[in-house]
Chains A and B, each alone.
Chain A
Amino acid sequence: MNAKIKTPSAPPESPESYRAGPDADGRFGKFGGRFVAETLMPLVLEVERAYHRCRDDADFKREFANYARDYIGRPSPLYFARRLSAHFGGAKIYFKRDELNHTGAHKINNTLGQILLARRMGKTRIIAETGAGQHGVAAATVCALFDLPCVVYMGETDIKRQAPNVFRMKLLGAEVAPVSSGTATLKDAMNEALRDWVANVDDTFYIIGTAAGPHPYPAMVRDFQTVIGTEARAQLLEREKALPDLLVACIGGGSNAIGLFHPFLDDATVRMVGVEAAGRGLDSGEHAASLSGGQPGVLHGNRTYLLQDDDGQIKDAHSISAGLDYPGIGPEHAWLFEAGRVEYAGITDDEALEAFQLCCKLEGIIPALEPAHALGYVSKVAPGMDADSIILMNLCGRGDKDVFTVADALGVQL
């Protein structure tokens, strides 16, 4: 029931290209923008100028590509999940193996790009926010690599839930700053990082972990993550001599999904589904499905879909996966949703847990709970698809970090 797809009431006309955004004001249609305090505005404009210079700079691209190859381990493999495909008895299922990256998730593609930019801007201090700790670890990792001090803001609730990642960040030399304000989760960590940035505008670069925030962050994070889709497209064309019929990726803020989808957006035959966390069910009120269960609003520098009450107060998200536990979504997804180009579905905690176990047993891969949501959706649609059709799913993180959560959910004492 939660795999049902929500479609907007009146899809606007198709643009010439779905890959042209954002516009000069950082808008994807009405979404995106630069909703930040005046103190930050000059800095946000400086990041935009610096990013545009780097984006078109051959040296920058070469530097990124070299570290991506030698340090992250790119390209990540494209893997045909034979047993899962046979189990579902329909489409051929391919995984893009971004869980094999250094640090175990796609997050490092982005932190690498942003720290190279920060260095070019002459910034000497890095801040980041984190929920599950994956982005915090990825930020702490590149800060160790480039010898820059790093402060990671993390909600106190999340610090308790994700102790191993907290220790990893500390091992890597980062300071983990506990956030007790608000509900002490990811959104509050992001508020606190923004407060730090306002007070340290001269020397500090803020590495945002998902394709959200004020322009240019949504576009910049997307661009660093499109390495996923660009590689996968070439790999699949070589292997199958065909484009995929369906792309599937999980969505919290949506950086791995936009990274996979973006290079395919103008391939009209390719369907795309972003999978939000439906938590205990969309009707329960306890979920993290900003598109399926939220309304447009303005938070953290951008207009997008948000979980909020009638008074415009932001609501807490819930998901068994801490990485999807965010009450917003990147603005480009909000636009692609309203434009009807990408479809969005919800998968519950229970459905994700089932897919998690299936992946372990049938493929010998322990996935993170985040892509387990994507696999949960695949498990619903693959059986109904033709045997020669292709699903490409982003396996964006490995599940070592989640074994305690899963054990707990399954009632197993470790």
Chain B
Amino acid sequence: MNAGMNSAMNAGAGASGARLTRRFNELKQAKRAGLVTFITAGDPDLDTSAAILHGLPAAGADIIELGMPFSDPMADGPAIQLANQRALTAGITLRKTLDMATAFRAHDARTPLILMGYYNPIYRYGNQRFIDDALSAGVDGLIIVDLPAEEDDELCHPCMTAGLHWIRLTTPTTDDARLQRVLANSSGFVYYVSIAGITGTRSADQSAVKNAVARIRRQTDLPVAVGFGIKTPQQVAQTAAIADAAVVGSAVIEKIAAGIKKPSRKNQIAADVHRFVQQLAEGLSGA
């Protein structure tokens, strides 16, 4: 692996975070891009959500993002908004999300698990207590949407000191001058948000994404994952050709939403999600 990644590792993540580095090394050896799947913890209910989570690696997810539900998900589109509401109605809390992570880690030691969400539930839980509990749950990194580089003293620095990866979002509005600052305290990988917009809406123009990924690569050696608006196996394959990983979120969530609407499929939701993730992963078998 390259020097930048090693230095980011040293600065950022300890034993727990090493899983993420190892996974990107494995992908590199296999000469393929990775599939990152997002689900919201507790959606549509705690048991189904746990079943979905546990089956994701076998279905083909290389890295998992687990959403920490929040009442006011400002950067998310309708699909993930509803997922947050379903999960909160079902009684999820940040503590229960961490418990889900612990249970997952008990039977899967290799798949990187990233928690993604908004700052307030963590702030209320207590930043240091959260970092400690996330580490002991076997969490590898965090993506916190409403903590830009300007607020790095809040959680980014304590996380990196403790050995949790701090994965940063970069966007089409992040210009070169700003990119330097955004990447300065990034570790694990860089998440390129391919559209200026919310989750689950438009899809980006591929040539624009290609240019953006190249622009990021000029400034960092960290792997680059691309997300927002990736919904089909074809889009996953296209993204895989230009990035180190493709992130699919809202499209996975929509399988859950569809399952709830059809009473006959209700106990099939986990299986339906896993089948869809399998289809997404099929586009990635060797580049």
Contact = CB atoms under 8 A, between A and B. Distances in A.
A120 interface: no
Nearest to B82: A181
Given A41-B173, A194-B74, A199-B196, 15 more contacts: A35-B151, A36-B148, A38-B169, A38-B171, A38-B174, A39-B196, A187-B72, A194-B75, A199-B198, A201-B173, A201-B196, A296-B123, A298-B123, A300-B74, A308-B124
Contact of A195 (B77, B85, B151, B172): B77
A292 B198 CA distance: 34
A299 interface: yes
A218 to B, nearest CB: 15
Contacts of B72: 182, 187-188, 191, 299-300, 314
A127 to B, nearest CB: 14
B70 interface: yes
B85 to A, nearest CB: 7
Contact of A182 (B71, B124, B150, B201): B71
A47 interface: no
B237 interface: no
B276 interface: no
Nearest to B85: A182
Interface stretch (B50-58, B114-122, B255-263, B266-274): B114-122
A35 B174 contact: no
Contacts of B125: 311-312
A191 B195 CA distance: 18
Interface string A160-184: 0000000000000000000001100
Contact residues on A (Cβ < 8 Å of other chain), bracket: 35 or more
Contact of B151 (A34, A188, A296): A34
A35 B149 CA distance: 10
A34 B154 CA distance: 12
**Which 3 A-B pairs rank lowest in CB-CB distance, beginning with the nearest?**
A312-B124, A312-B121, A199-B197
A43 B145 CA distance: 16
B64 interface: no
B178 interface: yes
Interface string A34-58: 1111111111000000000000000
A310 interface: yes
A282 interface: no
Contact of B122 (A38, A296, A312): A312
Interface string A274-287: 00000000000000
B47 interface: no
25 contacts: A35-B146, A35-B147, A35-B151, A36-B146, A37-B74, A38-B148, A38-B149, A38-B168, A38-B170, A38-B182, A41-B148, A42-B174, A42-B175, A191-B72, A191-B73, A194-B74, A194-B75, A195-B198, A198-B75, A199-B197, A297-B124, A298-B120, A308-B124, A312-B120, A313-B71
B193 interface: yes
A119 to B, nearest CB: 22
A297 B148 CA distance: 16
Contacts of B174: 38, 41-42
A159 interface: no
A388 interface: no
Nearest to B173: A42
B97 to A, nearest CB: 10
Given A198-B75, A312-B94, A37 B148 contact: yes
Interface of A: 25, 33-43, 181-182, 187-188, 191, 194-195, 198-199, 201, 295-301, 303, 306, 308, 310-314
A75 B201 CA distance: 47
A306 B123 CA distance: 12
Contacts, number: 121
B138 to A, nearest CB: 21
Interface of B: 70-78, 81, 85, 88, 93-95, 118-125, 145-151, 168-175, 178, 182, 193, 195-198, 201-202
A313 B121 contact: yes
Nearest to A295: B124
Contact of B74 (A191, A296, A306): A191
A43 B171 CA distance: 12
Nearest to B94: A311
A312 B201 CA distance: 27
Given A198-B196, A199-B196, A181 B81 contact: yes
A295 B124 CA distance: 9
Contacts of A43: 173
Nearest to A313: B71
B74 A195 contact: yes
Contacts of B93: 311
Contacts of B148: 34-38, 41
Residue from the set A43, A301, A311 with the largest chain B CB neighbour count within 10 Å: A311
A225 B106 CA distance: 56
Nearest to B122: A312
A312 B123 CA distance: 8
A191 B146 CA distance: 13
A34 B149 CA distance: 10
B123 A37 contact: no
Contacts of A42: 173-175, 178
A34 B153 CA distance: 12
Contacts of B94: 311-312
Nearest to B81: A181
A43 B119 CA distance: 20
A310 B124 contact: yes
Contacts of A298: 118-120, 123, 146
Contact of A314 (B71, B78, B198): B71
B196 A311 contact: no
A303 B120 CA distance: 9
Contacts of A38: 148-149, 168-171, 173-174, 182, 193
Contacts of B77: 195
A297 B72 CA distance: 13
A181 B120 CA distance: 19
A37 B146 contact: yes
B150 A34 contact: yes
Contacts of B182: 38
Given A25-B150, A38-B169, A198-B197, A297 B123 contact: yes
A288 B121 CA distance: 20
Nearest to B182: A38
Contacts of A25: 150
B89 to A, nearest CB: 11
